[in-house]
């Protein structure tokens, strides 16, 4: 009964859920509930919001008087910590496990909701003692250790916003984000474990701080014990601060407006520096917890593992906030999936009895490559649901995930969403008949479509631009400090209609299923990580021997996409293998290892428009031996 049921020729390619999934699902029906949610969007979200605690409820669900600057739950008072921690302490859940954390060397820590509250409160008091106030932005740059989640929650608790910078980023990426956020306080660690080695976060921090005049204090958590440089009066060990009387376990959760900023998260855009997208306490709490509960069918007995990095939106929404609001038991792992052997994940699924696993196609392809024998060594039958996110999943990887990991009984939730959307937008529910590679249909309250330049819906099966027609509570509210950029990037192309442009191309098939094709702008998804061509190019150009650079993405079997760079050297210089390596190392040092180009080609010129814009699509077509398209604007 588990596999595909070919009811008729039309259904031959559909994968139906097994009966026990359907019978016990939190949501048992889609079509009618979807129609109802679209007819009364505010009613749907009010109903969801009513499942949460509020200090004061809203006067109005949606305020659309200043489009596209929508406001949700206007007049309401809350704090995400009120729902993520405080309310659980009043129930039996205070004794429930909130986090199970395993370090790469194999050390384990477990925190109940009670213990989580103690740790977060302690951290909150330490931040206060460092002068952090409501509305400050604290930058957090950490490995995947529990203190990362504690620091985020501590900021939220005292009404400060956090800006988490992914621990795989490096000096310039970090410095640039600190400068934009004007952070005075930075939280980091002496390193983290990755493939048996310590990554030297504090070394990167020290160099970044030397480029960041705003930083006054840096709090360092001791994780690895390897020696790091600490500057007097600027650097503080977390454990030293935690032993002071100020670090007690009493701290009131700050009462916030629903629309107050919870965090900013930088994401790569088409041009220029990364944008700090702003998310808020109220709408984000409602949106992330609702999507998590309905899509992943969360029950109290689940053990939830979102194997992303908390430094990206997936980790913010679905490692930290949504599962805590839903009172889940969360698995968190520090290191690499194949360390010391490719069975590491499956060993942990068995050991902790994980019931839901949510990861990226790159991780699945990477583990698939090692063969079935690694998962087969373990009893992973506790799994009941699987998930995928970050890039399109190729049907081959989908089928392996479904059969070998899911034993043909676990539906795969292929969730399409973005940093900008806060949570899942196009996604199956556990009851949805699945097609490998399709995110199926829009979530409740979301009207999605695929249109052409003029905004006309394209024919079934035809490629077009993915747009969202109506607002939702989890949407980013603006780009910090640059509202114009927010409007120009997302709302300008379909201004008349008032639609949100996602930046992806997609198709809708004749059954109404969505198929995401990929980015249509200069955003590159490498292994599911989001990078901008502009950032990679500016890292290349900051090398003393480079005059100009262009970066493009080409398909890659494992990573989905890989970065290829074209470089014009300064006059008189010639490219060779040594310079190739030096450029790649330079990008790694400035941006981080994930941004290192796969290949560098030294060229004498780049295809440009008459206004001087590099025509990356032409480079891409040439590299793939495809037609170069309309060249009427080229000036080479
Ligand atoms: C891509 C990650 C296909 C897409 C949550 C989007 C996907 C970008 C999927 C956002 C999916 C995300 N299928 N493509 N299930 N999920 N994407 O901001 O191109 O890091 O626009 O958010 O990832 O990346 P971001």
Instruction: Verify whether ligand 1 is closer than 6 Å to residue 519 (CB atom).
Output: yes
The first and second tokens of residue 339, run together, are 């360390």
Read off the pLDDT band of 612 (50, 70, 90).
confident
Upper half-sphere CA count for residue 537 (Cβ side, 13 Å): 27
The C-alpha atoms of residue 359 and residue 351 are separated, in whole angstroms, by 18
pLDDT by residue (tens digit) across 528-569? 999 999 899 999 999 999 999 999 999 999 999 999 999 999
- Are 186 and 138 in contact by the 8 Å Cβ rule? The answer is yes
CA of 613 to the centre of ligand 1 (A): 26
d(CA 592, CA 597): 11
Query: pLDDT digits over 158-187, tens only?
Result: 999 999 999 999 999 999 999 999 999 999
Interval 405-409 mean pLDDT: 98
Report pLDDT digits (tens) over 256-270.
999 999 999 999 866
390 lines ligand 1 (CB under 6 A): yes
Asked if 522 and 270 count as a contact pair (C-beta separation under 8 A), the reply is yes
Phi-psi domain of 383 (left: phi exceeds 0; alpha: psi -120 through 50; beta: other): beta
187 close to 142: Cβ distance less than 8 angstroms? yes
Proportion of the chain above pLDDT 70, given as a percent: 97
Over residues 47-63, the pLDDT tens digits come to 999 999 999 999 999 99
Does the CB atom of residue 178 touch ligand 1 within 6 A? no
- Predicted pLDDT of residue 371: 95
pLDDT band of residue 12 (cuts 50, 70, 90) is: low
pLDDT at 87: 98
Q: Are strands 303-306 and 356-359 parallel, antiparallel or unpaired?
A: parallel
Distance CA 616, CA 36 (A): 44
Distances (CA, A) of 150 to 164, 338, 371: 12, 27, 37
pLDDT at 4 over 80: no
Contact between residue 463 and residue 482 where contact means Cβ atoms under 8 Å apart: no
Mean pLDDT of all residues in 435-447? 98
Whether the per-residue pLDDT at 521 is higher than 70: the answer is yes
347 CA distance to ligand 1 centroid (A)? 28
Q: What is the pLDDT of residue 9?
A: 47
Q: What percent of the chain has pLDDT over 90?
A: 92
Paired with 112 in beta bridges are 97
Reported as type and span, the H/E element at residue 37 is: helix 31-39
CA distances from 446 to 248, 471, 510, 602 (A): 44, 8, 19, 46
Q: How many CB atoms lie within 10 A of CB 50?
A: 10
Residue-wise pLDDT tens digits, 123-171: 999 999 999 999 999 999 999 999 999 999 999 999 999 999 999 999 9
Q: Which two tokens stand for residue 28?
A: 């048992």
Q: Is 589 helix (H, G, I), strand (E, B) or coil?
A: helix
Give yes or no for residue 465 CB within 6 A of ligand 1.
no
| Ligand 1 and 391: CB distance under 6 A | yes
Structure confidence by residue, pLDDT tens digits, 371-404: 999 999 999 999 999 999 999 999 999 999 999 9
Ligand 1 centroid to 599 CA: how many Å?
Answer: 24
Left (φ > 0), alpha (ψ -120 to 50) or beta: where does 137 sit?
beta
- 238 CB burial (10 A radius; 0-12, 13-18, 19+): buried
147 pocket-lining for ligand 1 (C-beta < 6 Å)? no
Measured from the Cβ of residue 146, the count of other Cβ atoms closer than 10 Å reads 21
pLDDT at 636: 60
Residues pairing with 330 in the sheet: 99, 304
Cβ-Cβ contacts under 8 Å for 423 (sequence gap 6 or more): 284, 287, 288, 290, 291, 292, 317, 318, 322, 417, 474
Query: What's the confidence (pLDDT) of residue 143?
Result: 97
Which ligand 1 atom sits closest to the C-alpha of 312? 20
DSSP 614: B
- Report residue 561 as tokens: 């996409």
Q: Which range (269-283, 331-345, 418-432) has the least confidence?
A: 269-283
Q: Is the CB of 440 under 6 A from ligand 1?
A: no
Q: Which residues pair with 464 in a beta bridge?
A: 506
Mean of pLDDT values over 335-354 = 97
Q: Count CB atoms within 10 A of the CB of residue 579.
A: 18
Instruction: Give yes or no for a contact between 448 and 467, defined as CB atoms under 8 angstroms apart.
Output: yes
Residue 119 has pLDDT above 50, yes or no: yes
34 CA to centre of ligand 1 in angstroms: 23
Q: How far apart are CA 91 and CA 601, in angstroms?
A: 61
Q: Determine the pLDDT at residue 613.
A: 84
Residue 392 in contact with ligand 1 by CB distance below 6 A: yes
Residue with the two structure tokens 């048992």 = 28
pLDDT, one tens digit per residue, over 28-87 is 999 999 999 999 999 999 999 999 999 999 999 999 999 999 999 999 999 999 999 999
Q: What is the DSSP string of 53-117?
A: --SB--SEEEE-TTTTS-EEEET-EE-HHIIIIIHHHTSGGGGSEEEEEE-TTS-EEEEEHHHHH
Mean pLDDT of 276-292: 98
If you average pLDDT over every residue of the chain, what do you get? Answer: 95
Specify the pLDDT at position 630: 75
- Count how many Cα atoms sit within 13 Å of the Cα of residue 353 in the half-sphere of its side chain: 4
Torsion sign over Cα 374, 379, 381, 383:
negative
Query: Which residue pairs, CB below 8 angstroms and at least 24 apart, start in 336-343?
Result: 336/104, 336/194, 336/195, 337/307, 337/363, 337/366, 337/367, 338/366, 338/367, 338/370, 339/104, 339/194, 339/195, 339/196, 340/196, 341/374, 342/367, 342/370, 342/374, 343/374, 343/375, 343/377, 343/378
pLDDT (0 to 100) of residue 8: 52
Name which residue sits closest to atom 6 of ligand 1, judged by CA: 418
Nearest CA to ligand 1 atom 13: 392
Q: How far away, in angstroms, is 416 Cα from ligand 1 center?
A: 6
The CA angle 520-307-120, to the nearest 5 degrees, is: 110
pTM, two decimal places: 0.95
Would you state the structure tokens that stand for residue 411, as one six-digit string?
């539906």
Task: Indicate if ligand 1 lies below 6 Å from the C-beta of 418.
Answer: yes
Residue of 516, 520, 553 to test ligand 1 pocket, by largest number of atoms within 8 Å of CB: 516
How far is the C-alpha of 53 from the C-alpha of 521, rounded, in Å?
A: 40
């Amino acid at each position: 009964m588990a596999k595909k049921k070919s009811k008729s020729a039309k259904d031959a390619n559909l994968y139906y859920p097994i009966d026990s999934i359907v019978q016990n699902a939190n949501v048992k029906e889609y079509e009618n509930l979807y129609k109802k949610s679209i007819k009364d969007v505010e009613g749907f979200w009010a109903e969801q919001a009513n499942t949460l605690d509020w200090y004061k409820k809203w006067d109005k669900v949606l305020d659309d008087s200043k489009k596209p600057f929508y406001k949700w739950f206007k007049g309401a008072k809350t704090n995400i910590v009120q729902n993520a921690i405080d309310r659980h302490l009043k129930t039996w859940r205070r004794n429930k496990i909130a986090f199970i954390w395993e370090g790469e060397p194999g050390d384990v820590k477990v925190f109940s909701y009670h213990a989580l509250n103690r740790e977060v409160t302690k951290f909150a008091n330490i931040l206060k003692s460092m002068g952090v106030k409501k509305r400050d932005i604290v930058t957090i740059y950490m490995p995947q250790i529990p203190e990362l989640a504690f620091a985020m929650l501590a900021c939220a608790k005292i009404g400060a916003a956090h800006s988490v910078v992914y621990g795989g980023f490096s000096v310039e990426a970090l410095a640039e984000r600190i400068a934009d956020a004007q952070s005075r306080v930075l939280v980091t660690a002496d390193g983290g474990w990755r493939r048996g080695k310590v990554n030297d976060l504090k070394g990167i921090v020290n160099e970044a701080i030397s480029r960041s005049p705003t930083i006054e204090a840096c709090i360092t958590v001791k994780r690895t014990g390897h020696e790091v440089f600490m500057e007097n009066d600027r650097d503080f060990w977390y454990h030293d601060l935690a032993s002071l009387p100020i670090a007690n376990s009493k701290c009131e959760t700050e009462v916030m407006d629903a629309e107050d900023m919870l965090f900013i998260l930088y994401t790569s855009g088409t041009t220029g520096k990364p944008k700090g997208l702003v998310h808020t306490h109220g709408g984000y709490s409602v949106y992330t917890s609702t999507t998590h509960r309905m899509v992943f069918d969360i029950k109290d007995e689940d053990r939830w593992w979102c194997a992303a990095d908390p430094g990206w939106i997936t980790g913010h929404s679905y490692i930290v906030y949504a599962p805590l609001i839903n009172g889940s038991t969360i698995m968190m792992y520090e290191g690499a999936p194949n360390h010391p052997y490719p069975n590491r994940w499956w060993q942990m699924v068995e050991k902790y009895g994980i019931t839901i696993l949510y990861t990226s196609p790159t991780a699945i392809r990477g583990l698939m490559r090692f063969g079935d024998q690694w998962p087969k060594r373990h009893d992973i039958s506790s799994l009941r649901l699987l998930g995928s996110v970050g890039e399109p999943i190729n049907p081959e990887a989908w089928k392996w995930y479904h059969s070998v990991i899911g034993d043909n009984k676990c539906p795969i939730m292929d969730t399409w969403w973005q940093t900008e959307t806060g949570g899942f937008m196009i996604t199956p529910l556990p009851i949805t008949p699945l097609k490998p590679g399709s995110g199926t249909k829009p979530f409740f309250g979301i009207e999605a479509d695929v249109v052409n330049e003029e905004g006309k819906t394209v024919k079934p099966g035809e490629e077009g631009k993915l747009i969202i027609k109506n607002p939702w509570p989890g949407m980013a509210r603006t780009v910090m400090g640059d509202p114009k950029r927010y409007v120009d990037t997302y709302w300008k192309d379909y201004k008349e209609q008032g639609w949100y442009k996602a930046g992806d191309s997609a198709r809708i098939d004749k059954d109404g299923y969505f198929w995401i094709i990929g980015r249509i702008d200069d955003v590159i998804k490498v292994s599911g990580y989001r990078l901008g061509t502009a950032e990679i190019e500016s890292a290349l150009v900051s090398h003393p021997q480079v005059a100009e650079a262009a970066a493009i993405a080409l398909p890659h079997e494992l990573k989905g996409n890989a970065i290829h760079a074209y470089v014009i050297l300064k006059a008189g210089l010639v490219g060779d293998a040594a310079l190739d390596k030096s450029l790649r190392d330079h990008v790694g040092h400035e941006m981080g290892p994930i941004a290192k180009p796969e290949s560098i080609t030294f060229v004498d010129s780049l295809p440009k428009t008459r206004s001087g814009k590099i025509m990356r699509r032409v480079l891409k077509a040439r590299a793939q031996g495809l037609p170069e398209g309309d060249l009427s604007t080229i000036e080479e």
